[in-house]
Chain A
């Protein structure tokens, strides 16, 4: 006897097997909120990722040489010597002296405008050098050795080390947003599970009748799946719109700061596509959860 059931839809009225509106209403809004929060969290995560990637690209090759010497003449002599030495050192792509004007501008927020003439506080001379390859401890060691003789007052540091704690914090935030997205997905699945269980209970008599008329678990699951699917699609669209509005507003606010670190976190087109896929993933997750919930529950019925 052939027992294989053809996969047969109920026809256009399949969805009417469970009363409409039983699942919709609150479910649509729950999904909308979940999707909006996920979009915002994901956007933040992507922005953090971009920041870490772009900023570290720009900084990994960077080396700062400070000539720390209280005597201006000696300081300048050593700075020039160090600059010459750097330019002939293999692996150095370029090296340039940061102008006094530039230094004044950099320290102004901390020390106030230079008092003119002899500065009360001696400021080190700065050389901004860029290596061809990412800076390692070895590179720094080699640079220090080659500068020791010509410029004893030189202090050599990789630029990335200055920002390491900042990158560390941003990296942590990135993981946090990823975890947040995971938690939101879990919460969405849990909400769907509860709604479906509730609907299963409320429609138990109908399900029994459909079973006795030869309906399969999969046919019944499809009814719930579809109902949840419509809610999730509507909720997902609303949630995406809400989320994007928030993301764009935040983006504009951060953009207004004009800081390099922030603008390096700007979202690319692939990021926007990823955000647009959030509601799609939400619909898929909701429908999958609904299906599994129904199939599991029906297994206990004859």
Chain B
């Protein structure tokens, strides 16, 4: 098994996942993610993208294999240690998972409150973030009063508000129009430039072309293919990023 090396933030080694006693939905998945990388995860519906991301955001333990995250063994780690790791990860869930009885504002503030940020330091960043995703005037609306696309933007705002070290987004542009999709992608890129490792699962092949320096992981019936060879282990020398704009 590989040891943690500078710049490697996630390592999967021969990971398998099955729900209950069903067949494996992920088989022999091995890859390495590098600090500051921008990754797309593609694959047909049912290929196992969400399942792989669940392992990444520590919502699920694999049935077999080894996973290291932020230098720690994510398999043997006691569950009391999970919260601190999770606070370093921002997640956009495929089905948003907003807290239904909290307003858009309070949903976005949640990661800050969970990690104990003082209340007076919460209002402005949350308001700014909501304005950035175009929801300044919907701040006090409950999720049920928002459209699908608006809920998705709240979910994205919540995932990035605390500047996570890793952002995991499951179909983050599935419910928004193409212009908004591009805008949200630009948010991810801005975060990526600040050092956040970004993993985006999507069917949308147009999106892939929008981020020139991204790496693409393709899942096919639970198996990971590596069209660019970027995920091989040992990895190639960490790439330099072409300046955008």
B80 at interface (Cβ–Cβ under 8 A)?
yes
B86 engages A214 (CB within 8 Å): yes
CB-defined contacts of B109 to chain A, threshold 8 Å: 13
CB-defined contacts of B158 to chain A, threshold 8 Å: 213
B71 engages A302 (CB within 8 Å): no
Count A-side interface residues using an 8 Å CB cutoff: 29
Classify chain B: how many residues form its interface, as a range.
35 or more
CB-defined contacts of B91 to chain A, threshold 8 Å: 212-213
> What CA separation (Å) do A138 and B115 show in the bound complex?
75
Q: Per DSSP, are chain A's interface residues mostly helix, strand or loop, or mixed?
A: loop
B79 engages A5 (CB within 8 Å): no
B209 at interface (Cβ–Cβ under 8 A)?
no
B84 engages A5 (CB within 8 Å): yes
Q: What are the interface flags for A184-217 relative to B under an 8 Å C-beta threshold, 1 for contact and 0 otherwise?
A: 0000000000000000000001101111111111
A19-B101, A214-B83, A214-B86 known; A8+B116 contact, CB < 8 A = yes
B81 at interface (Cβ–Cβ under 8 A)?
yes
A5 engages B83 (CB within 8 Å): yes
> What CA separation (Å) do A209 and B110 show in the bound complex?
10
A5-B83, A212-B91 known; A302+B59 contact, CB < 8 A = yes
Q: List 8 interface pairs A-B (beta carbons < 8 Å), by A numbering.
A: A5-B84, A6-B116, A16-B102, A210-B114, A212-B91, A213-B87, A215-B114, A219-B114
A206 engages B81 (CB within 8 Å): no
A10 engages B60 (CB within 8 Å): no
A107 at interface (Cβ–Cβ under 8 A)?
no
Residues of A within 8 A of B (CB): 1, 3, 5-6, 8-14, 16-17, 19, 205-206, 208-217, 219, 299, 302
B163 at interface (Cβ–Cβ under 8 A)?
no
A10-B114, A13-B109 known; A209+B97 contact, CB < 8 A = yes
Closest-by-CB residue of B relative to A4 is: B84
Closest-by-CB residue of A relative to B90 is: A213
CB-defined contacts of A206 to chain B, threshold 8 Å: 99-101
Give the contacting residue for A3; candidates B81, B111, B117, B119; CB below 8 A.
Answer: B81
CB-defined contacts of A5 to chain B, threshold 8 Å: 80, 83-84
